[in-house]
Structure 1
Amino acid sequence: MTALQRVSLPGSEDERREEWTLVLEEMEGEVIDAERSIRGNRAEEIAAWGRRMEDWVPPSALGPLPMDLRERAARLLQHQLAVAEELVERITQSQRQRDLAARMAYRPRPVAAFVDRAL
């Protein structure tokens, strides 16, 4: 087979594998970015991840996931779920801390009163 014969045609399995590889790499990058936010204790970034409401929808032109990428995709899914769980935990923890701080900041503080009984 010559090099020209091996060139992928549009929509070929090789092209689909390449496109899926790029999509998986992008998704892996997002998971790593979310982990960095968690590890860096950057509250605003963590909250921003929590506000992301859209579900990922694969581009319609990708076609089915190639068999040889399914294990990688499954590992990525497990990684995403673990990071999502940690994000939820951190967001909940952060909200509790904010609520506590708000209650403490606005509560009237007792004023010390000293009376000299020797008078």
Structure 2
Amino acid sequence: MAREWRDAWTAALDALEADVTRVEAMLADDHRARDLPVVDPWSPPAGIGPLPLDLRPRADEILSRQLAAAQALALAMTANRRQLEMMSRIESGEAPRRPAYLDCAI
């Protein structure tokens, strides 16, 4: 029973770690992000009981990686928005989209 319990948790942590590895890969190679499917939220499989104590360090390390990946994603999205805003300011040679005023009171 103890071996099955540990194996169930090991499989659950493998799945969770694979998710964070995919996010880290997306950050490292962001052009592939469009090709990867959206990941479903993770929750422990039903009926496997509490996490074995000897797997706690691995679970904590995965959590740390998830938090770092979430922070990196937020920073990447912010940088992307800033870049998009900057690009929207560059004129492309078309007619200006902003109003132009001419003082004719001379």
Category of TM-score, reference length = shorter chain: 0.7 to 0.9
Deviations 1:44-70 (A, max 9, x none): 717x89x86x64322221210011101
Percent identity reads 34
Structure 2 residue runs without a partner (length 5+): 98-106
Match of 2:27 in 1: 38
Separation of aligned partners in 2, 1:99 and 1:36: 26
Match of 2:104 in 1: none
1:17, distance to aligned residue in structure 2 (A): 0.8
Paired AA for residue 44 in structure 2: P
| TM-score with structure 1 setting the length | 0.66
Which of 63, 81, 84 is residue 98 of structure 1 equivalent to? 84
Paired AA for residue 18 in structure 1: D
Separation of aligned partners in 2, 1:105 and 1:68: 59
* Worse-matched range after superposition: 30-39 or 97-106: 97-106
Match of 2:50 in 1: 64
Separation of aligned partners in 1, 2:91 and 2:21: 36
Structure 1 residue runs without a partner (length 5+): 1-11, 110-119
Q: Who wins on radius of gyration, i.e. which is larger?
A: 1
Between 1 and 2, higher relative CO (CA 8 Å, sep ≥ 6) is seen in 2
Match of 2:5 in 1: 16
State the superposition RMSD in angstroms: 2.7
Paired AA for residue 30 in structure 1: D
User: Is residue 18 of structure 2 the alignment partner of residue 29 of structure 1?
Assistant: yes
